[in-house]
Amino acid sequence: MRSALTTLLALLLAACGEKAAGPDMAAILAEKPPATLAAYGLFSDLAAREPAKGVVAYDLVNPLFSDHAAKHRLVFVPDGETARYEDDEVFDFPVGTVLIKTFAFAPDMRQPSVDERYRETRLLIHKPDGWAAFPYVWNAEETEARYSPAGAWLDLTFTDPQGNAIQTEYRVPNQNQCKTCHQLGDAIAPIGPKARNLNHEGPYGHAQLADWSARGILSGLPDAPPTVPDSSDETASLEDRARAYLDVNCAHCHRLEGSASNSGLFLGWSVDEPTKLGIGKHPTAAGRGSGNAVFVIEPGRPDRSILTYRMDSTEAGIAMPELGRSLIDADGVALVRAWIAGMETAASGD
Amino acid sequence: MRIMITTVASAALLAACGGPEESSSEALEDTAPGETSVTTPGTLEAGEDFPARLQTALIEAEEGATIALPAGTFRMSDGLSLDVDGVTIRGAGQGETILDFSGQRGSGEGLLVTSDDVTLEGFTIQETKGDGIKSKDADRIIYRDLTVEWLGEPDEENGAYGVYPVESTDVLVERVTVRGASDAGIYVGQSDNIIVRDSKAHYNVAGIEIENSTNAEVYDNDVTDNAGGILIFDLPDLPVMGGNSTRIYDNDIYENNTRNFAPPGNIVAGVPSGTGVIIMANDKVVVEKNTFRNNQTAQVAIIAYSEPFTDEDYNPLPRNIVIADNSYENGGYNPQGELGAFAPLLGGNLPPIVWDGVTRWGEEEDTDVNLVIDEGEDIGFVNLGLGSYPINVSNAAPSDQRPDSEPFGELQPVKLAHAE
């Protein structure tokens, strides 16, 4: 008995020692996820503010709207390996890659870094048999984030970026809901890290894609990778801004390989057929989500377009996206409304 | 005693390196993430945190597992989902295990299945905010002995579809009851190899709908009090089109006279209240040996898709349709909706079998739609003679002449290897 105890203590101490050394490939590639975020060794502190060596912060030109959450993104690519550049899709990341996204709220989101509190951290890990998603929920002290496959509902109170007082039930998605948005054909895949959506100055103050190349985590970067405008950049065209917004907020499901494939409504950046984009398109399975409108987009008539009706709702069964938000993105709605309002009406045939 | 020391020591060490196994069980509102009182996979007890425990069991199920639900009514707070192959979810029976979604806060359906070889049986789903049960890209699924219902009077605010398999191969729906769907009670879309049988579709806008699908059999169903009984549709601008080869037989299709309560904009919102079967823009559909009675608009309507479309791969006409050996009693006595507009031309009533007579799209050539009406001479038929769209009552040239036609042979029986 005594020797067993000694062995156990030795093992535990050894485990501690490993963690301090940086990302733990055994934990990253394990079949079952560790119970705590700390066990991966992706951070050098318990509060996950200090990325471990090899863990790189990044951000996106246009983030998905998630109830005004601030998001802190990091990527870990195993030592000596690189993500292979792709022009249109997410980069081809090697097995062992971890994409880390922490969702945080401050009491006043006009000053998001003041008294910011971490609420959840989602990991997307490229396991040997494909990507898998793992939600971790932070405790109140922000000392520990625990694996939470069933997700959680969090009561949140904060002031939004427009200065409105918000009280909401924030949904930490369960593991299957992670998959719903990240579905790509029969597998799951990351959504955000595409060339066009990374192609700007990143958090380290450098051109982000070139910086990834220089750090040795990206290979095959061409001279002129594609770009999309920041959807809030008023110097860009309304159409490009709206399309960039829909690309990031809708097209992960609304594409031929996505969870909403059966709708026939495809909202990706490179879609160019008007009907596929919803212009003059009847709904397929909208039910009361149609809001009594006949077309997904009726040119010139945002009030009679299903797209804006569903963006402007928080009600289950109507709201789009179906997952990932319980608030309305008023800026996004205004942008898409303005785009539809500016369309030529002749195409609708009325 | 020593064991206790070991535990304490381990816990202390783990705490020191930031990975305590014994969580301080922080209260996270109404769920306890990662925590579950399920002792063995496959059994689930009633009690606290049932929704979270059920969802966790669905996530952590091993391939091939059975998850048994206890009897009782359980209030669900969010949509459920299953993405593990070969899982059976088995309740204590229809009306015995009731999952009540009236307090649902998120998701587009009550239960979403995205894995293959799943069997759902023996439970009731009520009052979902969106669809009842959806299965997508879920091959060899079985829906059996289920009830999906919205309570109260038919309501525009009810969810769209009751059971909703889509983009799947080998779909079985049997002994399922659906009430109150604001679109279709039993809806199969963009799928291949389908059987819907021994089921009840009551008080939906459409009782049973097979859309953009191939090789389907719909038989021995009880279809009443819907606005439209059974719809066989094909729609443009979808990834899967070219619906064909559906056989509808031995169904009881009666008194489908509920008002059409579909929210406008949806294709079924155009279904006239009181229609038994509608075949729209489909190839090779056989309607035989069914019983029709008291459907106020028409027992059987055969029509083209009537909206403008740009999809060049889409065929908006019905073609190769067989209507044979059905029994008809008292229909078409109070025609509603778009078909109702033609009734004055025919003295106010419509005969049991109504064809819009559309044979071409716009300026294109006439198509031989090959409509086989193989019924006794006493069974009324009308060809509204519209020729082409758009629909305009003034273009109608009604005729009771049955069109020349040629039987196209038997449809291959649908075999579902997973459900013999």
pLDDT in tens, B203-228: 999 999 999 999 999 999 999 999 99
Final residue of a structural domain among A209, A227, A245: A227
Shortest CA distance to B411 belongs to which of B195, B218, B247? Answer: B247
* Same domain, residue pair A238 and A216: no
Instruction: Please report, for residues B63, B341, B379, B398, the alpha-carbon distance to residue B401 in angstroms, rounded to integers and kept in the order given.
Output: 58, 20, 12, 9
**Cα B352 from Cα B274, distance rounded (Å):** 11
**A9 within domain boundaries:** no
**A167 within domain boundaries:** yes
* Same domain, residue pair A349 and A285: yes
CB pair distance less than 8 Å for A316 and B79? yes
* Same domain, residue pair A192 and A302: no
Sort strands A117-127 and A130-138 into parallel, antiparallel or unpaired.
antiparallel
CB pair distance less than 8 Å for A146 and B55? no
* Same domain, residue pair A176 and A244: no
**Cα B102 from Cα B129, distance rounded (Å):** 7
Chain position carrying tokens 């649902």: B104
Half-sphere exposure of B262 (CA within 13 A, CB side): 31
The answer to whether A290 and B273 have CB atoms below 8 angstroms apart is no
Q: Calculate ∠ Cα A74-A80-A82, nearest 5°.
A: 55
| Residue among B130, B189, B265 minimizing CB distance to A317 | B130
User: Predicted ipTM?
Assistant: 0.87
The answer to whether B20 and B8 have CB atoms below 8 angstroms apart is no
Below-70 pLDDT ranges, chain B: 1-43
Tokens of A34: 């560790």
Residue of B nearest to A136 (CA): B33
CB pair distance less than 8 Å for A8 and B10? yes
The answer to whether B275 and B295 have CB atoms below 8 angstroms apart is yes
CB pair distance less than 8 Å for B105 and A169? yes
The answer to whether A307 and A297 have CB atoms below 8 angstroms apart is yes
Give the SS3 label for residue A343: coil
CB pair distance less than 8 Å for B81 and A176? yes
Residue A146 contacts by C-beta under 8 Å, 6 or more apart in sequence?
A35, A36, A37, A136, A137, A139, B23, B33, B34
**Cα B295 from Cα B327, distance rounded (Å):** 13
Q: Is A14 on the interface with B (CB under 8 A)?
A: no
CB pair distance less than 8 Å for A316 and B130? yes
**Cα B115 from Cα B138, distance rounded (Å):** 5
* Same domain, residue pair A162 and A271: no
**Cα B394 from Cα B323, distance rounded (Å):** 28
pTM beyond 0.95: no
Final residue of a structural domain among A205, A227, A249: A227
Write the burial class of residue A92 (CB in 10 Å: 0-12 exposed, 13-18 middle, 19+ buried): middle
At B311 the pLDDT is 87
In one letter, which amino acid is B46?
A: A
Q: Is B59 on the interface with A (CB under 8 A)?
A: yes
E strand spans, A44-161: 55-58, 70-76, 83-84, 98-105, 117-127, 130-138, 145-147, 152-159
Residue of B nearest to A9 (CA): B10
At A286 the pLDDT is 86
Shortest CA distance to A249 belongs to which of A170, A165, A319, A342? Answer: A319
Q: Is A7 on the interface with B (CB under 8 A)?
A: no
Tell me which residues of chain B, numbers 293 to 332, contact chain A at a CB-CB cutoff of 8 Å.
307-308, 310-311
**Cα B93 from Cα B288, distance rounded (Å):** 32
Nearest-Cα distance to chain B for A222, in Å, is: 33
| pLDDT tens, position by position, B321-350 | 999 999 999 999 999 999 999 999 999 999
Give the SS3 label for residue B230: strand
Give the SS3 label for residue A219: strand
**A11 within domain boundaries:** no
Tokens of B202: 């009551």
The boundaries of the domain holding residue A119 are 22-227
The answer to whether B351 and B381 have CB atoms below 8 angstroms apart is yes
* Same domain, residue pair A250 and A204: no
Tell me which residues of chain B, numbers 170 to 209, contact chain A at a CB-CB cutoff of 8 Å.
182-183, 187, 189-190
Shortest CA distance to B179 belongs to which of B209, B143, B197, B152? Answer: B152
Helix, strand, coil percentages in chain A from 3-state DSSP, rounded to 5: 25, 25, 50
**Cα A92 from Cα A78, distance rounded (Å):** 13
**A43 within domain boundaries:** yes
* Same domain, residue pair A216 and A253: no
Task: Suggest the residue from B6, B13, B28 to mutate for an interface test with chain A (most A CBs closer than 10 A).
Answer: B28
| Residue among B137, B157, B237 minimizing CB distance to A288 | B157
* Same domain, residue pair A239 and A306: yes
Q: What is the pLDDT along chain A (350 residues), one digit of tens a residue?
A: 444 544 444 444 444 444 457 999 999 999 999 999 999 999 999 999 999 999 999 999 999 999 999 999 999 999 999 999 999 999 999 999 999 999 999 999 999 999 999 999 999 999 999 999 999 999 999 999 999 998 999 999 999 999 999 999 999 999 899 888 999 988 999 999 999 999 999 999 999 999 999 999 999 999 999 999 999 999 999 999 999 999 999 999 999 999 999 999 999 999 999 999 999 999 988 888 898 899 999 999 999 999 999 999 999 889 999 988 999 999 999 999 999 999 988 544 44
Final residue of a structural domain among A173, A207, A227: A227
Q: How many CB pairs under 8 A join A and B?
A: 213
Residue of A nearest to B13 (CA): A12
Range list of H helices, B158-241: none
**A72 within domain boundaries:** yes
| pLDDT tens, position by position, A127-185 | 999 999 999 999 999 999 999 998 999 999 999 999 999 999 999 999 899 888 999 98
The answer to whether B86 and B92 have CB atoms below 8 angstroms apart is no
Task: Suggest the residue from A119, A174, A297 to mutate for an interface test with chain B (most B CBs closer than 10 A).
Answer: A174
CB pair distance less than 8 Å for A288 and B164? no
Instruction: Please report, for residues A130, A160, A167, A251, B106, the alpha-carbon distance to residue A331 in angstroms, rounded to integers and kept in the order given.
Output: 35, 12, 19, 18, 22
* Same domain, residue pair A313 and A208: no
**A299 within domain boundaries:** yes
Shortest CA distance to B274 belongs to which of B366, B192, B340? Answer: B340
**Cα B334 from Cα A145, distance rounded (Å):** 65
**A322 within domain boundaries:** yes
* Same domain, residue pair A209 and A247: no
* Same domain, residue pair A157 and A236: no
**A293 within domain boundaries:** yes
Give the SS3 label for residue A197: helix
Shortest CA distance to A187 belongs to which of B114, B140, B166? Answer: B114
Our count of domains for chain A comes to 2
**Cα A155 from Cα A165, distance rounded (Å):** 14
* Same domain, residue pair A219 and A248: no
Nearest-Cα distance to chain B for A322, in Å, is: 5
